[in-house]
A and B are shown apart, each in its own frame.
Chain A
Amino acid sequence: MNLATDLIHAGAEIFLLVMVSIILIADLFVTGRSKMFTYLLVQLTLLGCALITVSTHEPGVAVTAFNGMFVDDLMADVLKLLSYLAVSALLIYSRGYLLARGLFSGEFMVLTLFALLGMMVMISACNFVTLYIGLELLALSLYALVALQRDSAVATEAAMKYFVLGALASGLLLYGMSMLYGATGTLDIYKMSVAIELGVNNKALLVFGLVFIVAGLAFKLGVVPFHMWVPDVYHGAPTAMTMLISTAPKLAAFAFTMRILADGLQPLMIHWSGMLVILAMLSIALGNVAAIAQTNLKRMFAYSTIAHMGFLLLGVLSGGIEGYGSAMFYAVVYVLMSMGGFGMILLLSREGFEADKLSDFKGLNQRSPWLAFMMLLLMFAMAGVPPTVGFYAKFAVLEAVVQTGHIPLAIFAVMFSLIGAFFYLRIVKLMYFDTPESHEPINMQPDTALLISINSIAVLLLGILPGTLMSVCAVSVQQSLLLH
């Protein structure tokens, strides 16, 4: 395969990089606080990326490029399109919030796009080198974004914690990768899978490396016992950055887990699925129980993320098309719900006021019945109440778990989801049955109002008609598994 065709397959990444460089320069000449020109340019860039990704897609086949460094398959394209959508929605949601705090700068947008580039690299990487560079590109941009609000001591502390623990996780991951390289002699994940199947000299070295890989992945996903950074970072970072951390990167993290564990280390599944069982059980238990004690909504969402990531791992450890497909479906649904939840906090916040405490949601129904109803849909989805999509996502994962015979595991997950339903439904109770503490008018921009409505109604509609998305997930996972 020659370089020209390789470049076409990586067209979206190249276009994004070129546009980021242009935006970086162009932004210097844009005056005024609102940065409308830069903002529109960023949105157009995302649209351009989406068009390129769709037009370079080759149906039915997975193409590798750059000597097996890069893979372009259905899973990559679907996840990339969803990432563009998530980043675009993030910018719409967070514009008002960041403008009020003087953070809506060119740097914010450029770093967000760099983070997106990192995610895209991770999503279509199939070599440990590219996987790691994509991860670092994403992580570095996120560290800087969290620290962007320099006057806030909490944000700086969060950035520091995120940076130190993130570096530790990267170290663990690299150590594991070097062990696997030592055992198999290759960094290409498909070749590695073949090499393991053919048999290696030292299986202990392989499993030893696997332990570090799983620990590094667990750090990045934020599952127990590697979750310590999640609540502090979610709480300390400006809400818009929290939203960025908790949405699109989860799609990339799913792809990352899939490529390493399901594609590269499939022959070691007996070993890693056991580790994932422990991680998933601990996460679901701790996430759901600890969230009850929180009075800060961002912190509560952080623990809820830990529990959701536990569910995602349940799908991955079940294996097979059902398992991986349901995990991908869960990741997509989680991004949708999390987007809405943080979007609501951003919407209710105003200059000098963060609507991130539970008491800020008291009596929301009297202040704005429509917003309260949207929040109700989102909370029902997170709790997994039918007919919202949250129910279907949990159902699909549990179905895959039961099919593999882990029935006690499924029962355990259901029990703790029931406990978790308490703190989601508490918000619904606060909104509908309590009297509001403040009567400040909610000033919404028309675009954010429209977006939150679309977001919440999508949660409902996808729950009623999950078939299309589910089959897209199943087909993309199947194609990605066929490669080796």
Chain B
Amino acid sequence: MNLETLVFYLFGAITLLAGLRVITARNPVHAAMFLVLAFCSSAGIWLLLEAEFLAVTLILVYVGAVMVLFLFVVMMLDINLDQLREGFWRWFPFGAALALIMVAEMVWVLGSRTTADTVGAVQHAANYSNTKELGRLLYTDYVYPFELAAVLLLVAMVAAIALTLRRRIGVKSQDIAKQVQVKKADRLRIITDESERKTDAQSGS
């Protein structure tokens, strides 16, 4: 067993264990952290396959952005997992039996035969740029689905705003335009009190 295989199995084992802990951890924050670990070790596997760009993107986008937002939400919500898990053990035998049947079927179908010829991971020269190659493909062969993926994001944005924006009356909010247009007279009221007027009159006379 060479070093590469060893590293692969190490990362694979970490990914699997972390994935398992995501669904078994009692504390949702811990579960989210295990998901981060799973992402990191998958990024390691991708690095091993010479897909550096994807590995870096996985860390930046998923760990850096998505999971942080996810953690915010998890921390802000007061989720009682024990309440959510009520009835879990009642349905467990049924679910476990179904899962076992599925696994047995999969092993039966796939396990006994060899899969397609495997010659190991593709090896590239040292000056091969993964990023350049991906960029070239995305903007040539895959330009149509690439643009459509952008449309998908636009739909998500429109849908999120349509579903969450509501105009309630009596909500305190800032109207920047009104703030900018404010005049001195709107904010400032000049009061002259009695004694001052007297002194004014005296000094004037």
Residues on A facing B (Cβ under 8 Å)? 6, 10, 17, 24, 65-67, 69-70, 105, 107, 110-111, 114, 117, 121, 127, 129-130, 133-134, 136-137, 140-141, 143-144, 147-148, 150, 182-183, 185, 200-202, 204-205, 207-208
Contact = CB atoms under 8 A, between A and B. Distances in A.
Chain B contact residues: over half helix, strand or loop, or mixed? helix
Interface range on chain B: under 10, 10 to 19, 20 to 34, or 35 or more? Answer: 20 to 34
B163 A201 contact: no
B152 A137 contact: yes
Interface stretch (B21-29, B89-97, B138-146): B138-146
Interface in B123-147: 140-145
Contacts of B110: 204-205, 208
B152 A10 contact: no
A202 B116 contact: yes
B159 A130 contact: no
Given A107-B162, A137-B152, A150-B166, A201 B145 contact: no
Contacts of A204: 109-110, 113
B156 interface: yes
Contacts of B162: 105, 107, 111, 144, 148
A70 B144 contact: yes
Nearest to B144: A66
Contact of B155 (A66, A111, A127): A111
B82 interface: no
Nearest to A211: B109
Nearest to B140: A67
B109 A208 contact: yes
The 10 closest A-B pairs by CB, nearest first: A144-B159, A107-B162, A66-B144, A201-B116, A69-B144, A129-B145, A67-B141, A133-B148, A114-B155, A140-B155
A110 B161 CA distance: 12
Contacts of B149: 133
A200 B140 CA distance: 29
A207 B105 CA distance: 13
Interface of B: 106, 109-110, 113-117, 140-145, 148-149, 151-152, 154-156, 158-159, 161-163, 166
Contacts of A66: 141, 143-144
A140 B113 contact: no
Contacts of B143: 66
Contact of A130 (B145, B154, B155): B145
A10 B163 contact: no
A246 B141 CA distance: 34
Contacts of B161: 107
Contacts of A207: 109
Given A114-B158, A182-B116, A201-B115, A140 B152 contact: yes
A75 B179 CA distance: 58
B114 A10 contact: no
Contacts of A202: 113-116
Given A202-B115, A204-B110, A208-B110, A69 B155 contact: no
A365 to B, nearest CB: 41
Given A66-B143, A137-B148, 17 more contacts: A17-B151, A69-B144, A107-B161, A111-B159, A114-B154, A129-B142, A130-B144, A140-B152, A141-B155, A144-B159, A144-B162, A202-B113, A202-B116, A205-B115, A207-B109, A208-B106, A208-B110
